[in-house]
Amino acid sequence: MTETNTEKFLEGFRQWWLNKGHSKRSADSYCSGIRRVNKEFFLPIVNKDLFAELEKAITKGCAVDYIYALTGIIGAKIINARDLKEQKRYQDMRSCLCKFTEYITERQESILMPGRWSEADEVGLSNIMSESDHQYYDYATLIKMLSQQIRARGYINTKKNIYFSMRLLECLFLRCDTEQSKYFDQRGILSYNGKSINFKRWYSKWLQFILNRVKIHTLMGDFTLSQAEGMLIERSTRRVWIIDREHHRTIPLMTETESGLLPMEAESLRDIKLKRSECIGRVLERLWDVMPVMRRIAAEIRKTVKGQTITDDDGKVIAIDSFQLESLTPMSNWYLDHVDWSVMAPLLSLARTELGYIAAATHLTLTSSTANL
């Protein structure tokens, strides 16, 4: 064991931790925990001492990858722990390793990219974004692109008379703004502040509310999307970071897998998905009885399309009231041209409350497509 290297790295970590305002006792505890990780995991698995390898690994840019692997292994141990005491011991070790990883990340990046990552507060992210190997997505872009995954959701259950299509609802809300604004004004149906209802703005805020609560796993604990200033993806290594809004730090992302939390990998934002803790079907089935307006909207759609058929470009006749997956898109398109606004417009103004129930019951987590269980 290379004691000189061990003390070199642990003393560097100790000073880094103390400089963040933490106590000497806390620093000593974390250093002891990292020694245990090296002894119990790195040495037996790799047959090498972690601290002896870190110097070379940092110059090659793979030191953080070493520690990522250890984090995943310990995560699997936590899941398979036989009792709470053993589980707590592994959790403490992972916590120590996460803090040490943050220190090694800053050290590695300060060597490989001096003056760029550690000084992001002062110089901003322009240098990072200019690199052809990096993709940077600001907060507005994340909201816009991730919202597409929500807007495509839908559910149908003919036995329980449940019909829910985000695409159709979005189109109805937008048409209310463009085609039915006079209807609401004439009847005095106004927003809480006495102004005309802006359905498009309300719908955008509704989506943003859901997305802001998206959970993001990182090496520094869990964040929400509202706490992210942006996201950075390095194409060549498929590594992913968020830039946290408060401190402008680049923090490695983790993703849930069957083996526990592992480093997130992606080549672009398209590889990152929103995973639901409860599928939309179960949410709707659980809430349907307390959503009379949504039941009325579903009944109105079913009544309007009953008995209707269309012929597609290949000459195939489609019964759009079959409420099968293949008929949902043509049914929605047909219905939008045959809406009875005298019924639907007032229903949509009331549906916003019930859609709030759905938003509150929606819990999403950011995950990579390869690990999306």
pLDDT digits (tens, 9 = 90+) for 321-366: 877 766 777 888 888 889 998 888 889 888 999 999 999 999 999 9
pLDDT in tens, 112-143: 544 333 333 322 343 344 345 778 888 988 99
User: Contact at 8 Å (CB) between 362 and 206?
Assistant: no
Would the pLDDT of 217 be above 50? yes
pLDDT in tens, 27-47: 899 999 988 888 888 788 767
User: Contact at 8 Å (CB) between 196 and 180?
Assistant: no
CA–CA separation, 303 vs 343, rounded Å?
A: 12
pLDDT in tens, 257-289: 877 888 898 988 888 999 988 888 899 999 999
Q: Degrees (nearest 5) of the Cα angle 142, 150, 140? A: 20
Count Cβ neighbours within 10 Å for each residue of 162-200 and write b for 16 or more, e otherwise. Answer: bbbbbebbbbbbebbbeebeeebeeeeeeeeeeeebebe
CA–CA separation, 201 vs 174, rounded Å?
A: 9
Q: Degrees (nearest 5) of the Cα angle 361, 355, 204? A: 105
Query: Which two tokens mark 89?
Result: 């011991």
CA–CA separation, 200 vs 198, rounded Å?
A: 6
Query: Which two tokens mark 360?
Result: 């509150």
Query: Which two tokens mark 35?
Result: 């020694």
Which amino acid is present at 361? A
Tokens 């309300």 belong to residue:
202
Confidence at residue 120, expressed as pLDDT on a 0 to 100 scale: 33
Residue 353 φ/ψ, nearest 5 degrees: -65, -45
Selected residue with higher pLDDT from 106 and 231: 231
Chain-centre distance of CA 44, in angstroms? 35
Number of Cβ within 10 Å of residue 258's Cβ equals 9
223 forms bridges with which residues in the sheet? Answer: 216
Query: Which two tokens mark 122?
Result: 């002062």
User: Contact at 8 Å (CB) between 214 and 274?
Assistant: yes
CA–CA separation, 116 vs 122, rounded Å?
A: 9
Query: Which two tokens mark 169?
Result: 């609802």
User: Contact at 8 Å (CB) between 46 and 67?
Assistant: no
CA–CA separation, 307 vs 317, rounded Å?
A: 12
Please give the mean pLDDT across all residues of the chain: 81
Q: What are the strands of the beta sheet with 250-252, ordered from one edge? A: 134-138, 228-234, 239-244, 250-252
Q: Measuring CA to CA, how many Å separate 174 from each of 18, 179, 357?
A: 54, 9, 21
Which amino acid is present at 135? Q
